Amino acid sequence: MRIVTCGQCQKMIHAFDHPSDACLFCGAATSSAIPREAPSGGPPLAHADPALLEAIDQAIGKGQFLGEKAAKGMALEALERAPLCGELYWRLLLADCQVNMDAKLLHIGRPVSEMPGFMSAMRHAGHAEPVYTAIDDAHERLHKAFSATLPGWEREDIQAQKPKEHLTALSAQLQEAVAESRKWHAALDEAEKGLEEASRDFWVAAGEYRAALEQIHQYAEALETPEMISEEEAQKGADYLERLQKSADSQMQSLERLKREHPSAVIFGELTREKAEIISRLTEIASRMDQIKANAAAEADKMDRIAANYARARAALEDKDYSQAMMVAGAQRTAALFASTLRGDLNG
């Protein structure tokens, strides 16, 4: 970590040795930065052991932040020997926040001035002071920008959900389903009525055959228990029984034919099939209505979630913290806001 002047925006910044490091203001790679001569006002690295400094920077670069053998432990060790070194406090701050470059401090969302070690670094800043204050100022500008932009994002997000259109469409679907359901219920009533009529007609027609069959049955019963005297009489009885049997057979056949061919029986069969069809339609409509209601509930949930997230973001912003605002904004809008705010500062 060194203090350099950015070759592009001319700001004083910390440059780190990892290849992804870039100027937090203009985005230029720090490899293009110009090392700066320490001006008067006290060197911020006074008395710090160069080898230990190098080890701390290596650990920070590798993401080894906490622990005795990591950046934090080594920074504390170095501070014991050089307690007036602002740049050591800054390294301690990076280790505590577990970030490997200054730009990432701004992505935490909390004010940099409230981070552990910042005040100590400031107290012993020396010529590094503009670097520290510029980062704290950057947080403040970002906080303002997030506060100003948040309401617009909220409108955008709610608009993107098109809640009105969705709910209107769902309500139209529901009305349609209700109307359809009514129509099929009426059809069901009709079918029931038709079935009742057909069944009545049929039984009137079948009644004739049933009566005839019953009579035959009675004759046959009467014949089975007589005391026959002569063979002739017995033969007569047997003949009669046979005729009864034939008559009964023919009555049965007629009844079967009636069942198949009587108009009311045919209507009965048709209506029974129709009724089954109507019931399956009604079942389908009922499940469609359930789905519409579930969709409407999900829609309302989604809106509630968006509103709750924005409420959280607003509350955090009041506390100078824009981390929640970054979350509702998403990566793309956050990156754009960072770029416009931090670079906009250079123009203004």
Q: How far is the CB of 88 from Zn ion (least distance, A)?
A: 24
Which residues make Cβ contacts (< 8 Å) with residue 262, sequence separation at least 6? Answer: 201, 202, 205, 206
Residue of 1, 3, 4, 23 interacting with Zn ion (CB under 5 A): 23
Stretch that binds Zn ion, among 19-27, 104-112, 181-189, 257-265 (CB under 5 A): 19-27
Q: 34 or 276, CB closer to Zn ion?
A: 34
Q: Minimum distance from CB of 8 to Zn ion (Å)?
A: 5
Q: Which of 105, 98, 177 is nearest to 137 (CA)?
A: 105
CA pair distance 49, 88, nearest whole angstrom: 11
Q: Residue 6, interface with Zn ion (CB under 5 A)?
A: yes
Using rule CB under 5 A, residue 1 touches Zn ion: no
Among 1, 3, 22, 26, binds Zn ion (CB under 5 A): 26
Minimum Å gap between C-beta 63 and Zn ion is 24
Of the pair 5, 254, the CB lying nearest Zn ion is at 5
Q: Which two tokens stand for residue 97?
A: 């926040």
Q: How far is the CB of 50 from Zn ion (least distance, A)?
A: 26
Q: Is 199 in the site for Zn ion (CB under 5 A)?
A: no
Return contacts of 242-250, CB within 8 angstroms, 24+ apart.
244/216, 244/219, 244/220, 245/220, 247/212, 247/216, 248/213, 248/216, 248/217, 248/220
According to the binding rule CB under 5 A, does residue 9 interact with Zn ion?
yes
Cβ(55)–Cβ(39) below 8 Å = no
Smallest separation (angstroms) from Zn ion to the CB of 27? 7
Q: Does 25 bind Zn ion (CB under 5 A)?
A: yes
Judge residue 12's burial from the number of C-beta atoms within 10 Å of its C-beta, 0-12 exposed, 13-18 middle, 19 or more buried.
middle
Closer residue to Zn ion, CB minimum distance, 27 or 42: 27
- Alpha-carbon radius of gyration of the chain: 47
Q: Which parts of this chain interact with Zn ion (CB under 5 A)?
A: 6, 8-9, 23, 25-26, 28
